[in-house]
Structures are given as structure tokens and as C-alpha cells.
């Protein structure tokens, strides 16, 4: 009988849990967290972890700054969840829709500060028109070059918005923030250093304009994993938000943010078949279990990791093996030694993801491992409502 048995508390190891499963390596994650805390301390900024990657109070509790300073989230559901677990300061770093303002107000009534993201007069007016009898805290979002959202650093609307938010009614201006997400398009460390400087300079400039206009700017916030890792300095910035650095992934390896041995989140999969004529080993982790994120394809044939690199149960990469194709529930592993001798039916592997945030989103919980022993199960807060 080769298939997995259900896990029990007495035999909880990686050979006994149902696959596919999301695994987090506790010691790798602890190291990643400590490195990020140390990096922020060295740069003289506070760390406001973005918990859109981990979506877990158990992970949050292991990040000292999450408790002492605050966190960032990407959904109102995350904000509700973390507030219900006692997190007292939350930046919701996505534009809010008016129909969600009642939920935001309810979180605030429970004693948690939720800081909203505003980049237009219309968005600010929506806070006023909500007439919920609360004061909404808000940061103005700056576009430091990604061109996803926010106002360009020289836009006069920044000061106008800051002044209007500061003057109320129903609103309070907290500061400015930006996300240097265009660092993901960079192809060298020098390019990321330059983008990190653009990211820093954009918010420091916007904050100075607000201060000159007499509007105090308490928070000056930057953040992405690549820019935090590569920034040469963060003078004038008060806090950095990075999220994926807690787990890291293959794209972060490619950007020089970590080593492959630092990747803490993997997918446990079982070999379910072979196609010797095609050099294929089939695993039970396809697009649903790994995500169809193919971001490493943009790195060219040398850097392309397919849908993920294959590692053994200890998390050590098996040279040359990657998931080259992903159907809904089938993953097709190819590469030197992709055969039944090396990977017999029923054997198990761990797959390192291209993009940890996307891969983790498919799972309701983590199996936390020390070595190959499963030591805990941590729930995640997925979805939106
Ligand atoms: C607004 C904002 N801040 C911070 C981050 C964290 O960046 P990373 O995932 O590179 O750690 C993100 C990621 O998308 C983001 O959108």
C-alpha cells in the first residue's frame, strides 16, 4: 500500500500527511524573520510586516515588530482577523470600496487603528459620505514608479489631499506610503538599488511638501522585499513593509534577496505515475496546488524554474528537477533523473514555489515542520469576506 495514511499526533511527519499540502519550515522562517528585523534596525526604520503572504496570526506572533509596531494587510478580512487576535495597528494598503467602510469602522470600534490608503479626492469624499460617526485614519499613496496606483511624487494633489484629510470631518491624515513593486522587473542588483532610492526619495519628498504646507506627516512608509534587501539607505523614512521575505521563494532567489536554502514555504507532493517515454514523473500537485505563477519564465531559460523546483523531504533541491507542466491536479516533473528509480510511485517531494503568496493562497493551513517532523498546524485567513 503506497498511498499516504491520515496524519495522527503520534506519527506526524512528512511521510504521513495527505498531499498536496503546504509546508513551512520553522527554522528557515525564523531566520528570515530575524534577518528582516535586523535589516530594518540597521536601516533605522520600523518594520511593518505585510501579512498578505503569511495570512496567519501564528506567523505574526513570531514577528516582534508586528506586535510592537503594527502590520500591513491586503484585504478587509485580514484586517478583521488580525484585529480579532489583538493586533492594534493595521495599514490596509489597497484602495477601500465604500461598501467596506462599515467593516472598517467596526474594527476601529474594537480598539484597533486601521489606516486606509487614499490616492484621489473621490476616495477621500467616500470616507466623508459614509457618515458612520467615526474618524478614518488615512495615508496618501505615492506612485514611486510602479504605476499601479498612487499619485506621482510631484503631484500637487498630494498636499491638497493631506490638508483635506487633516482638516476632517471624519478623516485624519497619517502620512504617505509607496510600494516599489517595479523592483520585480529589475534584472540586476544595481537596478534594484536605484529603484529602492526612487522609492525612498518619492515618499520623503512628498512628506516634505506636506510638512512645508503645515500638515504634519507622521508616517513615511516604503516597502517591498527586494527594495528592503537592496536599499543603500532609508534616510527620512519611518517604516518599511515587506511580506514575502518571511517565506521567500524562487523569484526572490533570482532577485538576490535570499539563497535557495532560505525558501521556507514548499508544497509537499506525492509521485502518482510515470511516463518513461517522455521522461516524466507525475506528482499530485498541479496548477491548483502550486499556482500557475510563471514569473521565473521572464528570467530566460537559465532562470526559468517552471512551476517550481523539486526538493527532497528535507527541503534540499534535487539537482535539475522541476515541474515543467501543470494541469489542474497533475504536475509533470522533468529533468535529469526524472524516473521511477529516483522517484518511485508513492515517494514524496517538496516543491519550491515561484511566488509564495500565490501558492500559499490555495491552502487553508500550514503544516509547520522542524526537519521532517510536523510540529504544528497553523490556519490561514484566505478569501475576502
Ligand atoms: C502596498 C504593498 N506594500 C508592501 C508589499 C510587500 O512587498 P513584498 O511582497 O515584496 O514583500 C506589497 C506587495 O505586494 C504591497 O502591495
Distance from Cα 60 to the centre of ligand 1, integer Å:
16
With contact defined as beta carbons under 8 Å apart, do 322 and 335 qualify?
yes
Three cell numbers, residue 269: 507532493
Ligand 1 pocket, residue 243 CB under 6 Å: yes
Q: 42-98: per-residue pLDDT in tens?
A: 999 999 999 999 999 999 999 999 999 999 999 999 999 999 999 999 999 999 999
* Choice from 45, 59, 93 to test ligand 1 binding pocket (greatest atom count within 8 A of CB): 93
Ligand 1 pocket, residue 241 CB under 6 Å: yes
Ligand 1 pocket, residue 48 CB under 6 Å: no
Ligand 1 pocket, residue 245 CB under 6 Å: yes
Distance from Cα 348 to the centre of ligand 1, integer Å:
32
**Confidence at residue 11, expressed as pLDDT on a 0 to 100 scale:** 52
Ligand 1 pocket, residue 230 CB under 6 Å: no
* Choice from 49, 63, 223, 249 to test ligand 1 binding pocket (greatest atom count within 8 A of CB): 223
Closest CA to 152 of 118, 193, 186, 119: 119
With contact defined as beta carbons under 8 Å apart, do 75 and 95 qualify?
no
Question: Is 0.85 surpassed by the pTM of this model?
Answer: yes
Instruction: Provide block-wise average pLDDT over 10 residues at a time, the chain (385 residues).
Output: 40 88 98 98 98 98 98 98 98 98 98 98 96 96 98 98 94 98 96 98 98 98 98 98 98 98 98 98 98 96 96 96 98 96 97 98 98 96 97
Give me the sheet containing 46-47, strands edge to edge.
Answer: 46-47, 239-240, 219-222, 171-177, 136-141, 113-118, 89-95, 71-73
Q: Which domains can be identified in the chain, with CATH numbers?
A: 9-23+259-379 (2.40.37.20), 50-242 (3.20.20.10)
Distance from Cα 318 to the centre of ligand 1, integer Å:
30
**Confidence at residue 133, expressed as pLDDT on a 0 to 100 scale:** 94
Amino acid at each position: 500500500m503506497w498511498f499516504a495514511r491520515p496524519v495522527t499526533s503520534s506519527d506526524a511527519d512528512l511521510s504521513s500527511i495527505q498531499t498536496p499540502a503546504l509546508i513551512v519550515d520553522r527554522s528557515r522562517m525564523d531566520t528570515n524573520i530575524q534577518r528582516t528585523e535586523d535589516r530594518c534596525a540597521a536601516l533605522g526604520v520600523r518594520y511593518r510586516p505585510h501579512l498578505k503572504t503569511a495570512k496567519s496570526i501564528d506567523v505574526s506572533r513570531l514577528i516582534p515588530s508586528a506586535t510592537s509596531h503594527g502590520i500591513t494587510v491586503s484585504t478587509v478580512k485580514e484586517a478583521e482577523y488580525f484585529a480579532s487576535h489583538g493586533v492594534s495597528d493595521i495599514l490596509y494598503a489597497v484602495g477601500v470600496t465604500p461598501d467596506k467602510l462599515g467593516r472598517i469602522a467596526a474594527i476601529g470600534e474594537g480598539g484597533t487603528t486601521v489606516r486606509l490608503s487614499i490616492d484621489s479626492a473621490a476616495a477621500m469624499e467616500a470616507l466623508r459620505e459614509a457618515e458612520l460617526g467615526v474618524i478614518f485614519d488615512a495615508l496618501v499613496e505615492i506612485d514611486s514608479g510602479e504605476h499601479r496606483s498612487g499619485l506621482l511624487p510631484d503631484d500637487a494633489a498630494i498636499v491638497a489631499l493631506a490638508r483635506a484629510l487633516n482638516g476632517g470631518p471624519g478623516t485624519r491624515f497619517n502620512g504617505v506610503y509607496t510600494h516599489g513593486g517595479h523592483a520585480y522587473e529589475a534584472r540586476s542588483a544595481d537596478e534594484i538599488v536605484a529603484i529602492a532610492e526612487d522609492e525612498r526619495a518619492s515618499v520623503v519628498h512628498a512628506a516634505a511638501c506636506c510638512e512645508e504646507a503645515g500638515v504634519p506627516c507622521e508616517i513615511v512608509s516604503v516597502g517591498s522585499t527586494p527594495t528592503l534587501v537592496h536599499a543603500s539607505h532609508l534616510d527620512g523614512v519611518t517604516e518599511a513593509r515587506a511580506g514575502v521575505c518571511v517565506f521567500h521563494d524562487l523569484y526572490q532567489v533570482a532577485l538576490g534577496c535570499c539563497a535557495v536554502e532560505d525558501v521556507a514555504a514548499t508544497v509537499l507532493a506525492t509521485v502518482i505515475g510515470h511516463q518513461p517515454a517522455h521522461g516524466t514523473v507525475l506528482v499530485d500537485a498541479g496548477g491548483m496546488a502550486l499556482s500557475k505563477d510563471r514569473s521565473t519564465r521572464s528570467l530566460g531559460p537559465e532562470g526559468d524554474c517552471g512551476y517550481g523546483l523539486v526538493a527532497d523531504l528535507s527541503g534540499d533541491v534535487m539537482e535539475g528537477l522541476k515541474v515543467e507542466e501543470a494541469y489542474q491536479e497533475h504536475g509533470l516533473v522533468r529533468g535529469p533523473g526524472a524516473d521511477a528509480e529516483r522517484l518511485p510511485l508513492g515517494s514524496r517531494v517538496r516543491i519550491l514555489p515561484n511566488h509564495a503568496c500565490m501558492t500559499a493562497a490555495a491552502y487553508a493551513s500550514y503544516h509547520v515542520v522542524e526537519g521532517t517532523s510536523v510540529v504544528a498546524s497553523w490556519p490561514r485567513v484566505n478569501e475576502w469576506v
